[in-house]
C-alpha cells in the first residue's frame, strides 16, 4: 500500500524556519518524480520544489533562495528546509509522487508539473507564518 506521510509543519514567526519531512512507503521513491506542493484554502495547489531528471533541485520562483529540497534514498524520504519564512508561505504543504516511473516519462520532473499528473499524495502538513 502506497503511503506518503508528511510531518514538520507548525506555526512560526516571519523570518523563522521549518523543516518538512515526507516518508514514502509502498514504492521506491527514487524511481518516481516526487515534489512538494502547497495550497491555500480557495486557491490552486502550486508546486514548490522537485528534482530535475539529473537530480538538480528546482524551485518555484516564490521560494527560490529560501527553500531547499533534499532526499534520503535509503530512508525513502523527501525533505523541505524552509528558511526566512513569510506570511505568504502560510499553506497546507503536500508531498506528492507520480505513479508513472521516471523511466517512462523521460525523467521529466518539475514543480511546474500540474498536480493532476501526481497520483500519490500525503494528507499534508500545515505551515502558518505570523507577521
pLDDT tens string 75-89: 999 999 999 999 999
Question: What average pLDDT score do residues 59-77 get?
Answer: 95
In the chain, % of residues over pLDDT 90: 82
Q: How far apart are CA 85 and CA 67, in angstroms?
A: 9
74: helix, strand or coil: helix
CA diameter of the chain: 44
Q: Which of 30, 35, 33, 32 is nearest to 20 (CA)?
A: 35
78 vs 31, residue with greater confidence: 78
* Cβ contact 6:20 at 8 Å: yes
When pLDDT is cut at 50, 70 and 90, the band that residue 30 belongs to is confident
Q: How far apart are CA 115 and CA 98, in angstroms?
A: 9
When pLDDT is cut at 50, 70 and 90, the band that residue 111 belongs to is very high
Amino acid at each position: 500500500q502506497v503511503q506518503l506521510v508528511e510531518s514538520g509543519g507548525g506555526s512560526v514567526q516571519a523570518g523563522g524556519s521549518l523543516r518538512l519531512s515526507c516518508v514514502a512507503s509502498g514504492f521506491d521513491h527514487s524511481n518516481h518524480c516526487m515534489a512538494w506542493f502547497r495550497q491555500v484554502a480557495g486557491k490552486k495547489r502550486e508546486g514548490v520544489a522537485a528534482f530535475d531528471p539529473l537530480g538538480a533541485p528546482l524551485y518555484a520562483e516564490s521560494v527560490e533562495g529560501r527553500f531547499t529540497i533534499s532526499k534520503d534514498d535509503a530512508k525513502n524520504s523527501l525533505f523541505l528546509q524552509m528558511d526566512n519564512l513569510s506570511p505568504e508561505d502560510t499553506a497546507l504543504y503536500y508531498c506528492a509522487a507520480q505513479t508513472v516511473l521516471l523511466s517512462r516519462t523521460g525523467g521529466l520532473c518539475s514543480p511546474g508539473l500540474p498536480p493532476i499528473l501526481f497520483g500519490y499524495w500525503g494528507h499534508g502538513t500545515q505551515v502558518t507564518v505570523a507577521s
